[in-house]
Chains A and B, each alone.
Chain A
Amino acid sequence: MEQNKIELHGEKTFPEECCGVLLGKVEEGIPVIDEARVLKNTNAGSRNTRYNIDPLDLIKLEDELEDTDRIMLGIYHSHPNHPAKPSKFDLDHAWPNLSYMVLSVQDGNSELLTSWRLNTDIKEFSEEKIQIVEESI
């Protein structure tokens, strides 16, 4: 469900990059995402190759999550007509302890979604496995 939401978002904003946040809980040391929250790409330059998330959106989000057991687990964004691999620019702007999902969108069609996490030396990413789990009813 949430993966579909990310893919649809990437297709909708193509050829611009989409972006949003990944929310959920850490269960037994593993981030379990229960929501991909669509946010606006506020980059003032070229949204085809860059994304920014408005800091005020993040403040509102932290306020919303403050009294809950959910946290921001990561960020997602798309790479229009480029591979689903984080760029040097992504690396330079990455924060520790977050999952960075990258969606490749080719000619308007979403293809591969990958997830990455900054290494402890904060000099490179390592790829994470994405596992789709059954939603509880």
Chain B
Amino acid sequence: MKVKIAIPTPLRTYTNNTKKIEVDVESVAMALKQLIVEYPKLETHLFENDIIRSYVNIYLNDDDVRYLDKQYETTVVSGDTISIIPSIAGGL
């Protein structure tokens, strides 16, 4: 299934400024793994011990993947967009 992965601005340095990357995969997890194969410098910003970092939100279209039944193993269909959204937070 051909899906697009939307890369947020702060991480485009590691994708040669490409905003959306197309991959041919079956699930969200496979898409993220394929992304790392193509752009290895993204790995430290997205993964910690092979698990998605807590400060990284992954959306499949408009749904937070963590709240889907199969989470990262959710299957994708052609035309889906996977968005990597930095968790923007801070404070005192």
Contact = CB atoms under 8 A, between A and B. Distances in A.
B87 A93 contact: yes
B87 A55 contact: yes
B39 interface: no
Contacts of A73: 9
Q: How large is the interface on A (under 10, 10 to 19, 20 to 34, 35 or more residues)?
A: 20 to 34
B interface, over-half SS: mixed
B91 A59 contact: no
Interface of A is mostly: mixed
Contacts of B19: 66
Contacts of B55: 93
A53 B10 contact: no
B92 A59 contact: no
A89 B55 CA distance: 12
B89 A49 contact: no
A89 B92 contact: yes
B72 to A, nearest CB: 16
Nearest to B6: A62
A79 interface: yes
B62 interface: yes
Contacts of A77: 90-91
Interface in A10-32: 17, 19
Given A55-B57, A71-B9, A95 B86 contact: yes
B35 interface: no
Given A95-B10, A96-B10, A58 B86 contact: yes
Interface of B: 6, 8-13, 19, 45, 55, 57, 59, 62, 64, 83, 85-92
6 contacts: A51-B89, A51-B91, A56-B62, A59-B83, A93-B87, A93-B88
